[in-house]
Every structure is written in C-alpha cells, then in structure tokens.
Amino acid sequence: MNTSNRFGKLFDEATSINEGAAEHGQVGSFKCETCSPIRRRGRKLTAQDVEVMRWQAFYGASVSELTNDYGINDRTVRRILVGDIWPTAAGPLRSKGTPPRPRQEALQALLNREIKPDHEGHIRGREYFQLNDDGYAVINKNSKKVRVSRIVLKHFKGPAPADKPIAAHLCRYRDCVNPDCLYWASPWQNMQDKYRDGTMPMGDTHPCARLTERQVILLRLVRPAWKECRRWSYELGAPQATIYSAAHGYSWKHSPKAPLIVWTTAESVDEIPERLRAPNLVLAHSP
C-alpha cells in the first residue's frame, strides 16, 4: 500500500460522510481504520495531509485530536486550519477570529449585567469561573490569574482608591462576583468583615492558640484565682498568665461556646457598657 493511496482513501472517507453519519456519532470522532494506528510524527506534512486535516476539523475533530494525529503542535494546527500556513492547500478554512472562550464570555456578560443574580441575590463565581486555592473566582488575563471581583469593581465603581485597595464582599460568599455585593475596602474594613463572617482566625483556629476551646470552657467554669492558675499551668501546658486571661475573659473574648461569667449587680446586659458586652457574656448575681 503506497502513501498516496492511503491518504486518498482517508480523504474519500472524510469527504463522503453524509448527514446520516452525524446521528451515529461517526463524524466528530472520525478515524480511518487503516490509517489511525500509524504514527505520523516526524513525517513532513503534504498538501493532501493539510486538506484532510481541514476536513477533519470541519467535521468536528478538536485541535488536540489533530495535534495527536499529525504529531505537530497545537499552534501549527490552528494556523493550518485558518490558512496562515499552507494557504494554497485545499480544504475548508476556519474563520480567523477564534471564538472567545466561555469564561471570557461569562466575564463580558457579567460586565454587561447580563448575568442575573440567583434567588439569594448573589452571582456565584463557581458557576462561571475557575476558583483559586482561597476560593475566589479568578480568570486568566495576560497569562496571569486575576480575581474577577477586582475586574468587576473596577468596571462598575472605578479603580481602587489609594487607601481602599481591597475588593471586599458585603456578603459572606468569597466567590460572589455580583457588583452589588462588592466594595473597595481598607485593610481595617476587610478585617471587620472577617470577624463578621467568622473567617478571622480566633481561639482554636488561631495558629498561636495555647489552649483549646474545651479547656477554656472548663477554666471559665472554675475561674481559678491567680495562685491556682499555676497548678492549671502545669496541667494544661500553657503559661500561667494565659490560663488566667482565658479564665477571666481577658482573652478568648469571641468564643461564644465559653460563657464569660461576670459577677455583677447589673440586672440585664443592657446595663453593661457597650464595649464590654462580649457575645458570650453571662451575668451572675452573688446570693
């Protein structure tokens, strides 16, 4: 079997695919039984190869399939398909404007306000974009990953003010890209948001924690005096001052599970000064 016969047969098969074949799934995954096992890598392309390649693409073969079939890189395949290379060879050409990728389309739709928020009023980035390790929606821009929230904010509210460089969320979804959920924030505002969302490392989740929340709950119940804290220090393997602070509410102020018991004559929490009203405050009255 000589080469020209082989490709002649492939070409005949490729061009003789009728409309009925599409229904049987033969068009997109078209492979000639005679030729497909033969590795063509390293062999120079002929005008006939190029013609066949263009027909394969016309009937739905992907660029990566053609890359494998012909042993040439994807950039060369694309240039052949649009006619940049081999302009004289036959076969149907693709239009040169490469269709934008779906994510870029989604971004454009987002900036045109064509994507409607879900029933909760958010536009979850995970449905349209890639998420980075931190859970934020990102998109490729000049071969770098950029947060979609920053692009959206810049588009709708202008570039970030010098003192408010952070694209922050009004809602608690990190991947939300609804322009109505976003604002330029100062680092201070962003930290307040983290307290609000419970994403600020505190208590157990803080990397420097010397005590666990269970231990703090125990200490709050016992409320050891300073001298007794020395014994607890040996027991729990934390410094005496750490024990005392946790037990008496100078630290772990934000732990709602460890009630901060305060002996007071006040009848209700409203009588306590606002800055001292921890969320876990429990008033106790001496008998």
Out of 3, 4, 5, 34, name the contact with Zn ion by CB under 5 A.
Answer: 34
Tell me the per-residue interface mask from 47 to 86 with Zn ion, x by CB under 5 A, - otherwise. ----------------------------------------
Q: At its nearest, how many Å lie between Zn ion and the CB of residue 176?
A: 3
- What CA–CA distance (Å, rounded) separates 82 from 101? 17
Compute the least distance from the CB of residue 51 to Zn ion, in Å. 14
Picking from 120, 112, 114, the residue whose alpha carbon sits closest to that of residue 156 is: 112
**Cβ neighbours of residue 272 under 8 Å, at least 6 residues apart?**
262, 264, 266, 281, 283
Q: Does 14 bind Zn ion (CB under 5 A)?
A: no
Comparing CB distances to Zn ion, the nearer of 176 and 247 is: 176
The CB-of-34 to Zn ion minimum distance in angstroms stands at 4
Alpha-carbon distance of 142 to 192, in angstroms, equals 33
| Total chain residues near Zn ion (CB under 5 A) | 10
**Could you say whether residue 176 binds Zn ion (CB under 5 A)?**
yes
Give whole-number Cα distances, 117 to 112, 173, 189, 221, in Å. 13, 13, 25, 47
Q: Which window, 45-53, 71-79, 163-171, 228-236, contacts Zn ion (CB under 5 A)?
A: 163-171
Out of 78, 122, 147, 220, the only residue in the binding site for Zn ion (CB under 5 A) is 122
For Zn ion, which stretch binds (CB under 5 A), given 65-73, 99-107, 124-132, 177-185? 177-185
> How far is residue 164 CA from its own chain's centroid?
23
- Longest CA span, the chain: 107
Q: How far is the CB of 60 from Zn ion (least distance, A)?
A: 18
Question: Helices 213-222 and 240-247 sit at what angle, rounded to 10 degrees?
Answer: 70
Q: Are 153 and 178 in contact (CB under 8 A)?
A: no
Burial of residue 115 (number of CB atoms within 10 Å: 0-12, 13-18, 19+): middle
Hey, how many other C-beta atoms are within 10 angstroms of the C-beta on 242? 21
The span of 16-24, 144-152, 167-175, 188-196 binding Zn ion (CB under 5 A) equals 167-175
Rounded CA-CA distance 106/143 in Å is 18
Q: Does the protein bind Zn ion through residue 181 (CB under 5 A)? A: yes
Task: Tell me how far, at minimum, the Cβ of 200 lies from Zn ion, in Å.
Answer: 19
Sign of CA dihedral 215, 217, 218, 223: positive
Stretch that binds Zn ion, among 26-34, 89-97, 157-165, 229-237 (CB under 5 A): 26-34
> Judged by CB under 5 A, which of 160, 171, 202, 283 binds Zn ion?
171
- Sign of the torsion formed by the C-alpha atoms of 175, 176, 177 and 182: negative
Residue nearer to Zn ion on the CB measure, 163 or 197: 197
Stretch that binds Zn ion, among 27-35, 126-134, 149-157, 204-212 (CB under 5 A): 27-35
Q: Does 35 bind Zn ion (CB under 5 A)?
A: yes
Residues forming a β-bridge with 146: 139
3-state secondary structure (DSSP) of residue 108: helix
Q: Measured from the CB atom, is 9 or 126 closer to Zn ion?
A: 9
> Which residues contact Zn ion by CB under 5 A?
9-10, 32, 34-35, 122, 171, 176, 178, 181
